[in-house]
């Protein structure tokens, strides 16, 4: 697992955006397209705003969501709202190449299955994302894969619907779809994430994030977050 430690959250956002832009160029040269899945959160919105300023071959990009809360479109908790403001409304991404998670559907399980079909149509069968961007919760969750939720153990689907977490159900990519990605980009900052980052770097599979493969993983974080996350630190 590669780890870049930057001075602050803004530097983290700039570095992560540069990694995505580089991965996009590499993928387009190699395969003619770049398939990206991105998570929500304060630092990611800053990262995506930086990405909008970089030279990316957007006409060759397909953008997916890693996860989404089951809330109305105008709800400020909806990742889609900030994703549009930070990135989509600022770039020349063809309309048919952004794939929002269909959390407004009444039948969420059927909607998740359709989203998985779209992934396969764009990224092959089984679907292989070029890059999946993940965040890290202070409790060790990633995407919407939370300790104790049945979605943690889904192995036969690429997209699942969770139970309630912090009062919301969610739609999320599952571990199999994340694990197939060519690159995994972890982005986080802040001292409150330090214990979880220590466990992630130690491969602690008792937290959900610890189940994600490390061989293609790249962590971009700040000095505050890494202050208590030495690779030799013991899991807590």
Q: What is the pLDDT of residues 105-159, one digit of tens each?
A: 999 999 999 999 999 999 999 999 999 999 999 999 999 999 999 999 999 999 9
Give the CATH class of 2-226: alpha beta
d(CA 15, CA 48): 11
Domain ranges for the chain: 2-226
User: In angstroms, rounded to a whole number, what is the distance separating the alpha carbons of residues 157 and 170?
Assistant: 15
Candidates 108, 52, 57; CA nearest to 83 is: 52
In whole angstroms, what is the distance from residue 163 CA to residue 150 CA?
A: 8
Mean pLDDT of 26-33: 97
Predicted pLDDT of residue 228:
57
Which residues, 6+ apart, have CB-to-CB distance to 230 below 8 Å? Answer: 198, 201
In this predicted structure, the answer to whether residue 10 has a pLDDT above a threshold of 90 is: yes
**DSSP string computed for 76-87:** TT-HHHHHHHHT
3-state secondary structure of 67: strand
Residue range 6-35: mean pLDDT, rounded? 96
Q: Would you say 48 and 86 are in contact if contact means Cβ atoms under 8 Å apart?
A: yes
Pairwise CA distance, residues 73 & 80, whole Å: 8
Tell me the mean pLDDT in the region 32-44.
91
- Which pTM does this prediction carry? 0.92
pLDDT above 50 for 234: no
Predicted local confidence at residue 74, as pLDDT:
84
Q: Which of 55-69, 70-84, 222-236 has the lowest mean pLDDT?
A: 222-236
Query: How far is CA 67 from its chain centroid?
Result: 8
The answer, yes or no, to whether residue 236 has pLDDT greater than 50, is no
Tens digits of residue pLDDT in 178-228 = 999 999 999 999 899 899 999 999 889 999 999 999 999 999 999 888 875
Q: How confident is the model at residue 235 (pLDDT cuts 50, 70, 90)?
A: very low
**Residues 222 and 5: beta-carbon distance below 8 Å:** yes
The closest alpha carbon to 111, from 63, 60, 164, 159, belongs to: 159
Residue 232 confidence (pLDDT): 41
- 167 falls in which pLDDT band (50, 70, 90)? confident
Q: How confident is the model over 162-172, as a mean pLDDT?
A: 91
């Amino acid at each position: 697992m590669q780890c870049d430690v930057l001075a602050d959250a803004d530097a983290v956002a700039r570095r992560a955006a540069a990694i995505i832009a580089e991965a996009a160029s590499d993928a387009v040269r190699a395969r003619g397209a770049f398939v990206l899945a991105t998570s929500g959160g304060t630092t990611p919105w800053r990262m995506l705003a930086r990405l909008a300023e970089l030279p990316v071959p957007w006409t060759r990009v397909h953008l997916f969501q890693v996860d989404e809360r089951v809330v109305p479109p105008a709800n400020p908790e909806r990742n889609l709202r900030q994703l549009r403001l930070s990135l989509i409304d600022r770039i020349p991404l063809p309309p048919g190449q952004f794939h929002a998670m269909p959390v407004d559907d009444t039948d969420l399980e059927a909607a998740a299955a359709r989203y998985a079909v779209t992934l396969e149509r764009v990224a092959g069968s089984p679907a292989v994302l070029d890059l999946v961007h993940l965040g890290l919760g202070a409790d060790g969750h990633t995407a919407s894969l939370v300790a104790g939720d049945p979605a943690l153990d889904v192995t036969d689907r690429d997209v699942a619907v969770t139970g309630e977490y912090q009062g919301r159900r969610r739609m999320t990519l599952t571990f199999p779809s994340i694990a197939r990605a060519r690159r995994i980009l972890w982005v986080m900052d802040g001292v409150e994430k330090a214990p979880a980052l220590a466990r992630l770097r130690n491969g602690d599979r008792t937290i959900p994030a610890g189940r994600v493969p490390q061989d293609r993983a790249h962590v971009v974080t700040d000095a505050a977050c890494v202050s208590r996350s030495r690779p030799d630190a013991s899991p807590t």
